């Protein structure tokens, strides 16, 4: 591509730009765009674009000049369509993505073959999909605590393949650059992700630049642990630029506003104490929410029942005093999340009065004044009403169920603070299917080190709810003074411009996530 040029035509200074177009079979052709078409395409050509720009030209002028075909726009008749949602384009993108990942050196939370080193951020199932006890693909790097818990999740795993990384220390790996075959050093530091026991982020430095993969993370704004994490991260980055931030974007939408875990834990204790005659069940995963259970145990001076496998994990984590498998010792039980349901609670209530407590950030996404469980909600929608966040109370979603805004993922304002701190050049969300998906660039483009006008466009919009969300997102953006969408065609083009993906099907389900790091460029799936 050349930069914009001007030429004299009929005594009038006229602007043009020359581009090289390449089709899906790699045939190339020169294209000249004139006058206002320069303005249309220029924003797409700014630095920092990491994927090919797909352009469709309709009604253009084709000319043969010295045996070469050139195309150009025909005054204002030609139509330019950018990154259209066509099957051919989607296939082309997928192929390119795979090609880039074939040359990978490092995989994070991604377990297909072709990498020289594999990194695990934490042991939640959506990060270990594809990993098994028979793993043989290479060394697997993880935190010390994850390594301790590893045999519980993968009995029979060859533990000699585990490489422990202590939090806060730099490690050097000797790897091979796939493209040249030459040796190269990659440096990595694990940083507390404050998500669940053993969870870490990975900061990589190498010939590919500086990249941070958060895995799942919670970035609360106050507390010693947060201060420690912030200092460690800034020390690790020093004055270096972060080229790519792979971000836990689970709640990357201003709709998600919830308080700190300590505030939410107090709400759980209040619910329990205000139901002195009730049995209590709390839905948890096989790892995570330990701090919540410990808070309850210590505040009420009681033990908490957990199922036998969970007790084993509690013991591995060093919590010997606060948990039991004897139901007679306590009225508070932590049960697997999958067994927590209205049916379960209806059944339990035929035996004795029981209430359920579900800690989750999900219901705190609101639409109007209703949350996804359909109940009324007074929770605030964005960081501007932060003063109300801490008073966002637990909600009674059903006769027997309270949902408490206790989450191990960052809420929107925390994600924003994190990005403000790091100012990465580029951001990629690692969660491709979350309940209210918005490409992080939509909100945080203005915080990135270089202008990125091209957050993903090839999203599918499945229902009218998407339009609502687009409008909400747009309002929010306007409120924050962002202007990431160019031109007066903003409303008309917004469906194509705004990288928002929402799927009813995926509201309560998140898919596996992870990336491979190639020597030149890498893209998360
Ligand atoms: Zn997780």
Q: What is the pLDDT of residues 377-411, one digit of tens each?
A: 323 223 333 334 444 566 676 788 999 999 999 99
**pLDDT attached to residue 109:** 93
Q: How far is the CA of 199 from the centre of ligand 1 (A)?
A: 8
**pLDDT attached to residue 101:** 32
Question: Residue 106: is its pLDDT beyond 80?
Answer: yes
Question: Residue 57: is its pLDDT beyond 80?
Answer: no
Q: How far is the CA of 374 from the centre of ligand 1 (A)?
A: 26
Q: What does DSSP assign to residue 27? A: -
**Phi and psi (nearest 5°) for 367?**
-130, 115
Q: How much is the mean pLDDT over the chain?
A: 75
Q: Give the DSSP letter string of 355-402.
A: EEEEE-SGGG-EETTEETTS-B-----SGGGHHHHTT---EEEETTEE
**Residue pLDDT, tens place only, 195-239:** 999 999 999 999 889 999 999 999 998 888 888 988 999 999 888
Average pLDDT over residues 254-283: 94
Tokens of 64: 């043969």
Short-list 235, 196, 195, CA closest to 422: 235
**pLDDT attached to residue 409:** 94
Question: Residue 493: is its pLDDT beyond 60?
Answer: no
Domains of the chain, residue spans: 5-82, 103-255+410-518, 261-404
Q: How far is the CA of 168 from the centre of ligand 1 (A)?
A: 20
Q: How far apart are CA 444 and CA 448, in angstroms?
A: 7
Q: Do domains 5-82 and 103-255+410-518 have the same CATH topology?
A: no
Question: Residue 435: is its pLDDT beyond 60?
Answer: no
Q: How far is the CA of 24 from the centre of ligand 1 (A)?
A: 38
Q: In which band, very low, low, confident or very high, does the pLDDT at 458 lie, cut at 50, 70 and 90?
A: very low
Are 112 and 130 a contacting pair, CB within 8 Å? yes
Average pLDDT over residues 50-79: 73
Q: How far is the CA of 196 from the centre of ligand 1 (A)?
A: 7
Fold entry, domain 261-404: Rossmann fold (3.40.50)
**pLDDT attached to residue 331:** 97
Torsion of CA 349, 351, 353, 358, to 10 degrees: -50
Tokens of 68: 């070469």
Whose tokens are 């795993």? That residue is 157
Centre a 10 Å sphere on the Cβ of residue 114 and count the other Cβ atoms it contains: 17
Q: How far is the CA of 498 from the centre of ligand 1 (A)?
A: 27
Q: In which band, very low, low, confident or very high, does the pLDDT at 123 lie, cut at 50, 70 and 90?
A: very high
Q: How far is the CA of 286 from the centre of ligand 1 (A)?
A: 11
**pLDDT attached to residue 46:** 52
**Residue pLDDT, tens place only, 126-181:** 999 999 999 999 899 999 999 999 999 999 999 999 999 999 999 999 998 877 88
Q: How far is the CA of 440 from the centre of ligand 1 (A)?
A: 19
Q: How far apart are CA 96 and CA 307, in angstroms?
A: 46
Average pLDDT over residues 356-384: 50
Q: How far is the CA of 123 from the centre of ligand 1 (A)?
A: 7
**pLDDT attached to residue 194:** 95
Q: How far is the CA of 243 from the centre of ligand 1 (A)?
A: 24
Are 316 and 150 a contacting pair, CB within 8 Å? no
Q: In which band, very low, low, confident or very high, does the pLDDT at 66 lie, cut at 50, 70 and 90?
A: low
**Is 323 in a helix, a strand, or coil?**
strand
Lowest-confidence region among 14-23, 285-294, 348-357: 14-23
Lowest-confidence region among 37-51, 123-137, 295-309: 37-51
Residues 294, 298, 302: CA angle, nearest 5 degrees: 95
Question: Residue 467: is its pLDDT beyond 50?
Answer: no
Q: How far is the CA of 72 from the centre of ligand 1 (A)?
A: 50
- Please indicate whether residue 303 or residue 497 has the higher confidence score (pLDDT): 303
Q: In which band, very low, low, confident or very high, does the pLDDT at 27 lie, cut at 50, 70 and 90?
A: low
CA distances in angstroms from 333 to 263, 307, 357, listed in the order given: 21, 9, 10
**pLDDT attached to residue 16:** 84
Tokens of 86: 């066509």
Q: How far apart are CA 167 and CA 195, in angstroms?
A: 14
Short-list 501, 445, 443, 451, CA closest to 477: 443
- Please indicate whether residue 381 or residue 84 has the higher confidence score (pLDDT): 84
Q: In which band, very low, low, confident or very high, does the pLDDT at 280 lie, cut at 50, 70 and 90?
A: very high
Centre a 10 Å sphere on the Cβ of residue 237 and count the other Cβ atoms it contains: 19
Architecture of domain 103-255+410-518: 4-Layer Sandwich (3.60)
Short-list 430, 471, 497, CA closest to 81: 497
**pLDDT attached to residue 74:** 81
- Domain 5-82 sits in which CATH superfamily? Nucleic acid-binding proteins (2.40.50.140)
Overall residue count recorded for the chain in this entry: 525
The residues with which 180 forms a beta bridge, in sequence order, are none
Q: How far is the CA of 235 from the centre of ligand 1 (A)?
A: 25
Q: How far is the CA of 359 from the centre of ligand 1 (A)?
A: 14
């Amino acid at each position: 591509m050349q930069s914009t040029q001007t030429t004299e035509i009929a005594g009038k200074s006229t602007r043009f730009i020359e581009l090289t177009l390449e089709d899906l079979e790699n045939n190339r052709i020169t294209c000249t765009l004139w006058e206002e078409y320069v303005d249309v395409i220029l924003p797409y050509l700014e630095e920092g674009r990491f994927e090919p720009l797909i352009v469709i030209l309709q009604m253009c002028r084709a000319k043969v000049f010295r045996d070469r075909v050139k195309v150009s726009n025909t005054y204002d008749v030609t139509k330019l369509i950018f990154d259209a949602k066509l099957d051919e384009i989607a296939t082309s993108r997928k192929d390119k993505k795979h090609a880039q990942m074939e040359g990978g050196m490092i995989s994070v939370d991604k377990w297909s073959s072709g990498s020289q080193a594999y990194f695990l951020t934490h042991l939640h199932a959506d990060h270990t999909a594809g990993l098994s006890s028979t793993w043989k693909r290479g060394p697997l790097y993880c935190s010390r605590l994850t390594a301790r818990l590893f045999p519980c999740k993968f009995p029979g795993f060859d533990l000699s393949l585990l490489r422990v990384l202590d939090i806060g220390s730099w490690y050097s790996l000797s790897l091979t650059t796939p493209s040249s075959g030459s040796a190269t050093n990659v440096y990595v530091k694990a940083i507390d992700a404050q998500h669940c026991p053993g969870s870490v982020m990975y900061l990589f430095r190498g010939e590919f630049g500086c990249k941070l993969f958060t895995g799942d993370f919670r970035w609360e704004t106050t507390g010693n642990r947060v201060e420690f994490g912030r200092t460690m991260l800034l020390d690790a980055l020093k004055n270096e630029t972060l080229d790519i931030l792979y971000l836990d974007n689970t709640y990357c939408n201003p709709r998600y506003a919830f308080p700190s875990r300590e505030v939410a834990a107090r709400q759980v204790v209040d619910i329990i104490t205000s139901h002195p005659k009730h049995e209590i069940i709390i839905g948890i995963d096989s790892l995570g929410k330990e701090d919540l259970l410990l808070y309850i145990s210590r505040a009420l001076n009681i033990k908490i029942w957990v199922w036998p496998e969970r007790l084993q994990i509690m013991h591995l984590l060093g919590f010997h005093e606060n948990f039991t498998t004897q139901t007679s010792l306590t009225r508070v039980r932590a049960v697997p999340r999958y067994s927590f349901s209205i049916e379960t609670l209806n059944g339990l209530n035929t035996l004795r009065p029981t209430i359920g407590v579900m800690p989750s950030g999900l219901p705190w996404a609101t639409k109007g004044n209703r949350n996804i469980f359909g109940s009324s909600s007074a929770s605030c929608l964005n960081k501007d009403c932060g003063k109300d966040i801490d008073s966002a109370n637990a909600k009674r979603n059903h006769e027997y169920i309270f949902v408490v805004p206790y989450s191990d993922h960052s809420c929107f304002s925390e994600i924003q603070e994190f990005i403000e701190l790091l100012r990465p050049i580029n951001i990629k969300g690692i969660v491709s299917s979350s309940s209210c998906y918005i490409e992080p660039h939509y909100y945080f483009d203005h915080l990135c080190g270089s202008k990125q006008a091209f957050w993903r466009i090839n999203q599918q919009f499945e229902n009218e709810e998407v339009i609502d969300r687009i409008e909400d997102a747009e309002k929010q953006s306007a409120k924050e003074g962002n202007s990431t969408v160019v031109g007066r065609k903003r409303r008309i083009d917004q469906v194509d411009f705004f990288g928002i993906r929402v799927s009813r099907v995926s509201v309560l389900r998140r898919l596996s996530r992870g990336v491979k790091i190639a020597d030149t460029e890498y893209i998360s799936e």
